[in-house]
Chain A
């Protein structure tokens, strides 16, 4: 990549040969697909073409064939991608093999060194040394040859891989940009300018990084970018594209065959999403690199100047030595194994290169850590949100119970617009669960994104470098996280990563716990989470330490078997120490857990104290609020009272009401307002009582106050009632007396009249019969012939019979009138008596009076009123009598149904005004007690005031009296039915 031209850097030159074989193959395939598309575009029919349907058909056929070819190409491209994956697998295998070979080679070289030392010490002879050297050299050369072969292959594979994906390409691009930048600056400010040197140092550092990667095949083999999935999307889209436009026919076939091309653009959009994701990731990458660059540039510049100083032969040896010594002092890990001379001779070049790369890595790790910290904070925030969602939905679920909700029916669907339906708890729980799951899914997606970013950063920088950065070890000389990681190191790395993550988590949880804005519940949960996280951390730390010690112990015990003398004694002591260390580690963990318990207690106490303070504040606010409400209510009551009194005063002044009424009304008003005021006080005290109960305070004082107020209210309420009752008693007596007199007088008159009429008619009939007998005697005694006598007798008989028949009809008419009167007066009795009894009992039967009205009853007396003792299917409208048919000791109940649907049941005779079409059905013994009870309750509920009904009854009685006086006959009796009152009392009151 270092040979990339400037043209390529800015992406203007197109050279397919510049790419690796694999990339080239994929692009070539794509270009073939593209060429076919160009051919398809040529199949467009130009405007004004005379080809008609025939030409269209030909073009469509060609297009179809081209598309089929495209399908084949796309299939082949998919296979190519699969084969690229195989190459990747092969690359990984090669790298592993090379690491093994390098280790073997190093081992051989170390053996050679050891042999040389042995030769120098005289332990082995020169011949022996030569023999060993020859053997190990042969072996080393063999390894070298294999490594060289692998290197070639790996470089080829790496290049192709890194061209497509990965950090290598990105780093390479960065390098190219930096290089160009340096060249520009050099041209502008001069080769030796500070700006150019800095830019060059930056580019150099990137170059060193690339070289380092080239040597070790480090980052390039990792799938750091998510190009894999992005490309998968693209190729998936391609496969779909292949199915998009199948063959076209003519006419209807043509229409049916057209595939909605919106699908095509949906795929395009999907691809661009992947691209957007790639761009966002590159931005993250650039941020990290920019930060790293900022961190490392100073150090890299110093290093470069120093090292180049050692190599600059134009400087004096003294100056160069000074620079070399400074390098050794500043970077002992890198340069301590080199003598000053070696450095001056350029033999430390590799060390210098590695150091440069290492500095950049450290800077990168530092920058990456910053990004990781940000991501961890985001993660915790998401975790909190999840917890909040869980808490909220749990609370909601716990509080859920069956409830009535408005049905929200369509207009006209039901008569009742306020119809409600029951929403069961189970239904609510399902809704809550679905809502919770949806909310949690969203949060999980966020978490997945965060995890992806974290992985991306960790992969980019190298976990080991990141750990070195965090735990403070110098990252220098750590060239690649992959090449030197043994299993143990890998385990250590994993543990260190866990350690960092867990410590960060605990810190953030502590921060969240200290946030007083959070609720006590949330803080308690956080406290629990902190404890759990700490215990988990201690457990893992302990098990990790113990495992390390156990491994050490195992090694020591193994060595003990071979050791002798002092070494053995030392090992025994070391083994003892290791065992003690294991015990200590366990004990330490226990002690830490115990200490944690204290922490938990402290945290809980803190939360409780905070919560208590909060509640105290809340209670005080609640008490204040109660008092405010009370004072507002009192003010409103006073205002109401003043206003009403003013109205009464005005009425009195204008003589609308009498003095007596004024006093009565005023007294009533004062009592009412006093009751209202007391009730407000009671409410306020009850509020205080519930607060005191919550606070655990003594309740007796408040309870006494409430009792006192209640008794005051009761006394105020009872006082006027007793008075009313007394007043009513006198009134009822008066009504009763009036009614009895009225009925006695009127019915006596009417009934006497009917009796006289009937007697008179009977006398006429008797006289007629007597006259007939006299006439018969006269005829028989006459001188007429027998034939004439017979004729006379027949005429007489006919006349008498006709006269008697007329009289009988008159008699029947009188009896009918009498019957009508009897019926009507019975109605009056029924209506008046039932209403009267109801008032007397304190529960007036308003419906009877309200339906017919006393005045109407009086007016109706002169008309025939239908009575439906046997029921009817259609009442003609107007007054009717129901429930009058005797049954057993009482009356047969009847179901009265109005056309509007309103129904009720009678158990006593009733006069009522009913609309046309009303149905009456005798129920016999099969009365539905439930309906009956419901009707009674409804009746009682409909009546508002005793006074109104009393007035109505008095007025009604007078009207009845006036009407009945118009009748001509005789007497009647009044039957008081106390059973009705008792019945109402039993059914409604009790």
Chain B
């Protein structure tokens, strides 16, 4: 093997055949697909299979974590500098404003102001917990065993073949398949929405 091939390159959805995709998804064998997570998320996005609610919850969790991470770090910086020097780190005072907190550079009340921010942020921890529960509920609904999932996938392939002709597992790439899925779903949806359907 040459030096160039020693390093496995990240793949795109268009680089992965249906067979390889099925191997990764149903056999948990991601050999040769180093960025499987990315491939899968691309597939979900391109095919439109993602549930909006699911993505919304995940984004909510991510955003809340980012917020808590920042505010915690901000508070810690202010506490530490104030404790070390007795002075307020004024350059960062405005950074907290986008998060809805107001603070003044008054050394006498500074610590109590920080404590108030701490207290106010607790509701976001509750929010995070709520989102986690919601996600857990969604995950539970989505649980399929592997055999069922594989069968569904194969049935889906045969349905698509009726509409789009032969789909070879080795020569068809996943990007094409994902687009077919999206298109098929759109058509089905359109038929259902027709009056009298």
Contacts of B149 in A (CB 8 A): none
- Confirm or deny: A946 has a beta carbon within 8 angstroms of a beta carbon on chain B: no
When the two chains form their complex, are residues B50 and A53 in contact, meaning their CB atoms are under 8 A apart? yes
CA distance A260 to B37 in the complex (A): 24
Chain A residue nearest in CB terms to B65:
A245
B185 to chain A, nearest CB (A): 15
B95 to chain A, nearest CB (A): 7
Spell out B's residues near A (CB within 8 Å).
Answer: 37-38, 40-42, 44-45, 50, 55, 58-59, 61-63, 65-70, 72-77, 79-81, 83-92, 95, 105, 107, 110-111, 114-115, 118, 121-122, 125, 128-129, 132, 135-136, 139
CA distance A173 to B41 in the complex (A): 58
Q: Contacts A44-B63, A45-B63 given; indicate if A8 touches B87 (C-beta within 8 A).
A: yes
Q: Which of A43-80 contact B (CB under 8 A)?
A: 43-45, 49, 52-54, 56-57, 59-60, 63, 67, 70
When the two chains form their complex, are residues B68 and A52 in contact, meaning their CB atoms are under 8 A apart? no
When the two chains form their complex, are residues A275 and B42 in contact, meaning their CB atoms are under 8 A apart? no
When the two chains form their complex, are residues B38 and A57 in contact, meaning their CB atoms are under 8 A apart? yes
Contacts of A262 in B (CB 8 A): 125
- Confirm or deny: A398 has a beta carbon within 8 angstroms of a beta carbon on chain B: no
B34 to chain A, nearest CB (A): 13
Q: Contacts A11-B105, A37-B70, A53-B41 given; indicate if A275 touches B83 (C-beta within 8 A).
A: yes
When the two chains form their complex, are residues B45 and A52 in contact, meaning their CB atoms are under 8 A apart? yes
When the two chains form their complex, are residues A56 and B55 in contact, meaning their CB atoms are under 8 A apart? yes
When the two chains form their complex, are residues A30 and B66 in contact, meaning their CB atoms are under 8 A apart? no
When the two chains form their complex, are residues A237 and B41 in contact, meaning their CB atoms are under 8 A apart? no
Q: Contacts A30-B81, A37-B73, A60-B62 given; indicate if A169 touches B111 (C-beta within 8 A).
A: no
- Confirm or deny: A252 has a beta carbon within 8 angstroms of a beta carbon on chain B: yes
- Confirm or deny: A278 has a beta carbon within 8 angstroms of a beta carbon on chain B: yes
When the two chains form their complex, are residues B72 and A241 in contact, meaning their CB atoms are under 8 A apart? yes
Q: Contacts A11-B107, A234-B83 given; indicate if A251 touches B139 (C-beta within 8 A).
A: yes
CA distance A38 to B98 in the complex (A): 12
Chain B residue nearest in CB terms to A252:
B139
Chain B residue nearest in CB terms to A43:
B66
- Confirm or deny: A313 has a beta carbon within 8 angstroms of a beta carbon on chain B: no
Partner of B77, one of A33, A60, A237, A254: A33
Partner of B58, one of A38, A49, A56, A264: A56
A714 to chain B, nearest CB (A): 79
* Cβ contacts A940-984/B at 8 Å (1 or 0 each): 000000000000000000000000000000000000000000000
24 A-B contacts (beta carbon < 8 Å): A12-B90, A23-B84, A23-B85, A26-B80, A27-B80, A30-B81, A33-B73, A37-B73, A37-B74, A40-B70, A52-B44, A52-B50, A54-B41, A57-B37, A63-B66, A230-B83, A231-B80, A241-B76, A248-B62, A250-B58, A255-B135, A261-B68, A272-B79, A275-B83
Chain B residue nearest in CB terms to A253:
B37
Contacts of A684 in B (CB 8 A): none
When the two chains form their complex, are residues A265 and B125 in contact, meaning their CB atoms are under 8 A apart? yes
When the two chains form their complex, are residues B61 and A258 in contact, meaning their CB atoms are under 8 A apart? yes
When the two chains form their complex, are residues A254 and B37 in contact, meaning their CB atoms are under 8 A apart? no
Chain A residue nearest in CB terms to B37:
A250
Partner of B136, one of A30, A45, A255: A255
* Cβ contacts A2-28/B at 8 Å (1 or 0 each): 000000101111100001000100110
CA distance A14 to B79 in the complex (A): 15
A249 to chain B, nearest CB (A): 6
Q: Which of A255-300 contact B (CB under 8 A)?
A: 255, 258, 260-262, 264-265, 268-269, 271-272, 275, 278-279
When the two chains form their complex, are residues A14 and B63 in contact, meaning their CB atoms are under 8 A apart? no
When the two chains form their complex, are residues A45 and B77 in contact, meaning their CB atoms are under 8 A apart? no
Contacts of A57 in B (CB 8 A): 37-38, 41
B156 to chain A, nearest CB (A): 19
B71 to chain A, nearest CB (A): 9
CA distance A507 to B149 in the complex (A): 85
CA distance A36 to B70 in the complex (A): 9
Of B37, B59, B67, most A-chain CB atoms within 10 Å: B59
When the two chains form their complex, are residues A163 and B139 in contact, meaning their CB atoms are under 8 A apart? no
Q: Which of A141-182 contact B (CB under 8 A)?
A: 163-164, 169, 173
Chain B residue nearest in CB terms to A225:
B83
Chain B residue nearest in CB terms to A50:
B45
- Confirm or deny: A891 has a beta carbon within 8 angstroms of a beta carbon on chain B: no
- Confirm or deny: A778 has a beta carbon within 8 angstroms of a beta carbon on chain B: no
Contacts of A231 in B (CB 8 A): 80, 83-84
Contacts of A60 in B (CB 8 A): 62
Contacts of A241 in B (CB 8 A): 72-73, 76
Chain B residue nearest in CB terms to A278:
B83
When the two chains form their complex, are residues A268 and B80 in contact, meaning their CB atoms are under 8 A apart? no
Chain B residue nearest in CB terms to A49:
B59
Contacts of A264 in B (CB 8 A): 68, 72
When the two chains form their complex, are residues B65 and A34 in contact, meaning their CB atoms are under 8 A apart? no
* Cβ contacts A861-881/B at 8 Å (1 or 0 each): 000000000000000000000
Q: Contacts A249-B37, A271-B79 given; indicate if A11 touches B66 (C-beta within 8 A).
A: no
CA distance A248 to B73 in the complex (A): 20
When the two chains form their complex, are residues B76 and A237 in contact, meaning their CB atoms are under 8 A apart? yes
Chain A residue nearest in CB terms to B121:
A265
- Confirm or deny: A238 has a beta carbon within 8 angstroms of a beta carbon on chain B: yes
CA distance A377 to B25 in the complex (A): 74
When the two chains form their complex, are residues A14 and B87 in contact, meaning their CB atoms are under 8 A apart? yes
Known: A31-B77, A41-B66, A265-B121. 6 other contacts (CB 8 A): A53-B55, A63-B65, A234-B80, A249-B37, A268-B72, A272-B111
When the two chains form their complex, are residues A54 and B107 in contact, meaning their CB atoms are under 8 A apart? no
- Confirm or deny: A384 has a beta carbon within 8 angstroms of a beta carbon on chain B: no
- Confirm or deny: A227 has a beta carbon within 8 angstroms of a beta carbon on chain B: yes
When the two chains form their complex, are residues B41 and A52 in contact, meaning their CB atoms are under 8 A apart? yes
Partner of A38, one of B62, B70, B84: B70
Contacts of A36 in B (CB 8 A): 73
CA distance A245 to B44 in the complex (A): 25
Partner of B44, one of A44, A53, A173, A265: A53
When the two chains form their complex, are residues B40 and A269 in contact, meaning their CB atoms are under 8 A apart? no
When the two chains form their complex, are residues B79 and A275 in contact, meaning their CB atoms are under 8 A apart? yes
CA distance A31 to B55 in the complex (A): 34
CA distance A584 to B59 in the complex (A): 88
Contacts of B68 in A (CB 8 A): 261, 264
CA distance A260 to B55 in the complex (A): 20
CA distance A248 to B64 in the complex (A): 14
Chain B residue nearest in CB terms to A227:
B83
Contacts of A34 in B (CB 8 A): 73-74, 77, 92
When the two chains form their complex, are residues B118 and A272 in contact, meaning their CB atoms are under 8 A apart? yes
When the two chains form their complex, are residues B62 and A27 in contact, meaning their CB atoms are under 8 A apart? no
When the two chains form their complex, are residues A268 and B81 in contact, meaning their CB atoms are under 8 A apart? no
CA distance A14 to B89 in the complex (A): 7
Q: Contacts A14-B87, A52-B41, A265-B122 given; indicate if A245 touches B69 (C-beta within 8 A).
A: yes
B153 to chain A, nearest CB (A): 17
Q: Contacts A30-B81, A45-B62, A265-B121 given; indicate if A12 touches B105 (C-beta within 8 A).
A: yes
Contacts of A279 in B (CB 8 A): 111
Chain B residue nearest in CB terms to A272:
B115
When the two chains form their complex, are residues B62 and A59 in contact, meaning their CB atoms are under 8 A apart? yes
When the two chains form their complex, are residues A261 and B128 in contact, meaning their CB atoms are under 8 A apart? yes
When the two chains form their complex, are residues A41 and B67 in contact, meaning their CB atoms are under 8 A apart? yes
Contacts of B90 in A (CB 8 A): 12-14
CA distance A251 to B140 in the complex (A): 11
CA distance A8 to B85 in the complex (A): 10
CA distance A269 to B135 in the complex (A): 28
CA distance A270 to B65 in the complex (A): 21
CA distance A258 to B61 in the complex (A): 9
A584 to chain B, nearest CB (A): 57
Contacts of B63 in A (CB 8 A): 44-45
A628 to chain B, nearest CB (A): 60
When the two chains form their complex, are residues A254 and B58 in contact, meaning their CB atoms are under 8 A apart? yes
CA distance A70 to B125 in the complex (A): 22
A52 to chain B, nearest CB (A): 4
Q: Enumerate the 5 nearest inter-chain pairs by beta-carbon distance, A residue then B residue, closest first.
A: A37-B73, A41-B70, A53-B41, A52-B45, A11-B107
When the two chains form their complex, are residues A254 and B135 in contact, meaning their CB atoms are under 8 A apart? yes
CA distance A940 to B189 in the complex (A): 92
Contacts of A260 in B (CB 8 A): 129
